[in-house]
Amino acid sequence: MSEKVKFEIRNVNLHYGDFHALKNVNMDIMENEITAFIGPSGCGKSTFLKTLNRMQDFEESARVDGTIKMDGTDIYKDMDGIALRHTVGMVFQQPNPFPKSVYDNVAYGPRIFGIKKKAQLDQIVERSLRQAAIWDELKDRLNKSALGLSGGQQQRLCIARALAVNPDVLLMDEPTSALDPISTSKIEDLAVELKKDYTIIMVTHNMQQAARISDRTAFFLLGEMVEYGPTAQLFANPSDPRTERYITGRFG
Amino acid sequence: MFKKEYAWRGIATIGGLIVIGLTLTIGVFLAYRGSATFFQFHHTLGEFLGSADWNPVDSAAGGGTVGALIFIVGSLVTCGLALLIATPLSLGAAVFMTQISPRIGEKFFRPVVQIFAGIPSVVYGWVGLSVLVPFMRVAFHQQVGQSILVAAIVLAVMIFPTITSMTADALTAVPKTNRDGAYGLGSTRWQTIYRVIIPAAKSGIITAIIMGLARAFGEALAVAMVIGQTTALPTSIFSTSKTITTEVAAQMGNAMEGGELKAALWTLSFLLFLISLFMIWLIHRVNAPKKED
């Protein structure tokens, strides 16, 4: 297991207007690991994920307190949201390729950085698609619309699109909930492969998924982080009775 | 119990048939009346479309000239200019009210634009005549003040609300997931709007522009008030001229039934009909789902 802390989260609270959505979250997320957030719907796990790349900035009523440091830098005080999202990529629940060609989807990020040279873009597109394990399927369809791909292909394309800007961290918000079992297992294999180079934080509804691929798991309930620890330990020997009841399926 | 079902279906079907029937009848009628210029008075299509010599005789004997180039050029130039003026403004306004400040946009901007759209064209024409025309005389030392430019500005103001509200609808219809995707990759707001949202709404925006153009092409009253109504090919944007619609509107009361002038005006009307058909066809082409290639 990794020793280096990527995110240091201290006393994080989030309010939507009067609603207290995250209650005093404290945790360290490790580099080059897969960290899974599990918990019932509405428990705050996706909300928390979106504080890590400041997508919450777009929710008008959201207010975040506490400190989140990435590699020692406070991402709310000492970083710009846009610069942060260059480093912390995100894959969403619903595959959301742009209505453009496969190539233009992957090249989108590099282009907004000002990369214009065709040769350089070609190279980035191929590298990113290979990393997302979808190059062989798409190399002959680079100029076709991304909307014509299957759901699983679209999601891996979105992963390639996120990788094309060379992030350090990849946030995945229930990336397989809209996909069939075969596509799901491809994305899981991919996540395991990618953690060598990236830090992956994944929200999932699926406890087996967390158990299969994550190194550490955090269990959220009603806006509170109930328990956090190495995945094997959390599933085999949970220390909090609420965690135990959830993972044994006695409430949801 | 099923009586009502059949009754409503009957009413809906009849309504639909009436619309289709009316459109077809108008088309056939215009084609029939308009063709008299060519068959009864023996003018050529080349003369009608290519000559600027317009002097149809107001009698059934015929023998005049029916070159409609002046009106065709007048219409194309005023509408083209109007579009050039209105499109960037409309696009900007639509982006502002849907993307940059949706709260002000929905509460304040959109209702104002809707009110704008409801103002009768005579009011636009009158304001143009009493404000813009004297202004042109002073600012650009024009003798008359009326001109193609003034007509284009008045038209631009008139089509602005049409293009703006349709573009706003197209931008609003872009799924939020596209926006999240763009922001998630570290795009600025401008990059998100310019590189993702506007391209995604492209066909809706083009439809909005064509609808604006169609409205501009069909407008007679406001244009007639400020374009100067001289039968001459324009030489600059400060020239006075006429458009297809203004000529039809101005002459139809004077023309004798069965005369060459009347027939020529019908031909102009048929031309307008064909132009609007063409625009509708364009809209359908733009919105046709692309074949997965």
Partner-chain contact B178 A109, CB within 8 Å: no
CA neighbours closer than 13 Å in the CB half-sphere of residue B185: 30
- What pLDDT does residue B5 have? 86
User: What would the mean pLDDT of A123-149 be, rounded to a whole number?
Assistant: 93
Q: Which of A86, A94, A111 sits opposite B177 (nearest CB)?
A: A94
User: What would the mean pLDDT of B197-225 be, rounded to a whole number?
Assistant: 93
- What pLDDT does residue B291 have? 52
Q: In DSSP terms, which residues pair with A5 in a beta bridge? A: A30
- Give me the sign of the Cα torsion angle A166, A97, A55, A210: negative
Q: Which CATH superfamily is domain A5-97+170-247 in?
A: P-loop containing nucleotide triphosphate hydrolases (3.40.50.300)
**Count, residues in chain B:** 293
- What pLDDT does residue B293 have? 44
A65 CA: distance to closest CA in chain B (Å): 21
A143 CA: distance to closest CA in chain B (Å): 9
The answer to whether position B243 is within a domain reads: no
Interior angle at CA A160, CA A103 and CA A43, nearest 5: 135
Q: Which residues of A touch B175 (CB under 8 A)?
A: 96
Partner-chain contact B195 A83, CB within 8 Å: no
Percentage above 70 pLDDT, chain B: 98
pLDDT band of residue B116 (cuts 50, 70, 90) is: confident
A100 in contact with B, Cβ within 8 Å: yes
Q: Cβ distance A91 to A159 under 8 Å? A: yes
B196 in contact with A, Cβ within 8 Å: yes
User: Smallest Cα–Cα separation from A227: which of A10, A6, A39, A18?
Assistant: A39
pLDDT band of residue B292 (cuts 50, 70, 90) is: very low
| Residues in CB range of B61: below 8 A, 6 or more apart | B260
B161 CA: distance to closest CA in chain A (Å): 28
User: What would the mean pLDDT of A40-65 be, rounded to a whole number?
Assistant: 91
Q: Which of B184, B195, B290 sits opposite A89 (nearest CB)?
A: B184
Give the whole-angstrom CA distance, residue B127 versus residue A110.
50
- Asked whether residue B189 carries a pLDDT value surpassing 80, the answer given is yes
Amino acid at A204: T
Amino acid at B112: V
**Helix, strand, coil share of chain A (percent; to 5):** 40, 25, 35
Burial B67-87 (b: 16+ CB within 10 A, else e): bbbbbbbbbebbbebbbebbb
Per-residue pLDDT tens over the stretch B7-40: 999 999 999 999 999 999 999 999 999 999 999 9
A133 CA: distance to closest CA in chain B (Å): 20
Give the whole-angstrom CA distance, residue A138 versus residue A135.
5
Partner-chain contact A112 B185, CB within 8 Å: yes
- Asked whether residue B1 carries a pLDDT value surpassing 80, the answer given is no
**What are the extents of the domains in chain A?**
5-97+170-247
The answer to whether position B271 is within a domain reads: no
- Spell out the alpha helix ranges (H) of chain A: 45-51, 81-87, 102-112, 118-131, 135-138, 151-163, 181-194, 207-213, 231-236, 241-247
- What pLDDT does residue A39 have? 92
Average pLDDT, chain B: 91
Q: From A158, which residue of chain B is nearest by alpha-carbon distance?
A: B181
Q: Which residues of A touch B292 (CB under 8 A)?
A: 144-145, 148
Rg, chain B, Cα only:
23
Q: Cβ distance A124 to A185 under 8 Å? A: no
User: What would the mean pLDDT of A100-107 be, rounded to a whole number?
Assistant: 96
**What is the three-class DSSP state of A229?**
strand
- Asked whether residue A252 carries a pLDDT value surpassing 80, the answer given is no
Q: In this structure, what DSSP letter does residue A24 have?
A: E
User: What would the mean pLDDT of A36-52 be, rounded to a whole number?
Assistant: 93
Q: Number of residue pairs across A and B with CB atoms under 8 Å? A: 65
Give the whole-angstrom CA distance, residue B251 versus residue B253.
6
Q: Which residues of A touch B188 (CB under 8 A)?
A: 82, 112
Residue identified by tokens 């009106």 is B71
Partner-chain contact A96 B183, CB within 8 Å: no
Per-residue pLDDT tens over the stretch B222-268: 999 999 888 889 888 898 899 999 999 999 888 888 899 999 999 99
The answer to whether position B55 is within a domain reads: no
- Per DSSP, the residues of chain B read -HHHHHHHHHHHHHHHHHHHHHHHHHHHHHHHHHHHHHHTS---HHHHHH---EE--SSTT---EE--HHHHHHHHHHHHHHHHHHHHHHHHHHHIIIII-HHHIIIIIHHHHHHHHHS-HHHHHHHIIIIIHHHHHHHS--SS---HHHHHHHHHHHHHHHHHHHHHHHHHTS-HHHHHHHHHTT--HHHIIIIIIHHHTHHHHHHHHHHHHHHHHH--HHHHHHSB--SS--SSTTS-B--HHHHHHHHTTTPPTTSHHHHHHHHHHHHHHHHHHHHHHHHHHHHSPPP--
Partner-chain contact B186 A58, CB within 8 Å: no
- What pLDDT does residue B287 have? 83
- Asked whether residue A61 carries a pLDDT value surpassing 50, the answer given is yes
User: What would the mean pLDDT of A92-97 be, rounded to a whole number?
Assistant: 93
Partner-chain contact A144 B178, CB within 8 Å: no
- Asked whether residue A1 carries a pLDDT value surpassing 70, the answer given is no
pLDDT band of residue B97 (cuts 50, 70, 90) is: very high
The answer to whether position B200 is within a domain reads: yes
- Distances from the Cα of B6 to the Cαs of A178, B3, B16, in angstroms? 42, 5, 15
Range of the domain at B83: 69-237
User: What would the mean pLDDT of B205-213 be, rounded to a whole number?
Assistant: 94
pTM summary value: 0.85
Average pLDDT, chain A: 93
Token pair belonging to B92: 């900007």
A88 CA: distance to closest CA in chain B (Å): 8
pLDDT band of residue B290 (cuts 50, 70, 90) is: low
Domain total in chain B: 1
CATH number for the domain that contains residue B214: 1.10.3720.10
User: Smallest Cα–Cα separation from B178: which of B157, B167, B194?
Assistant: B194
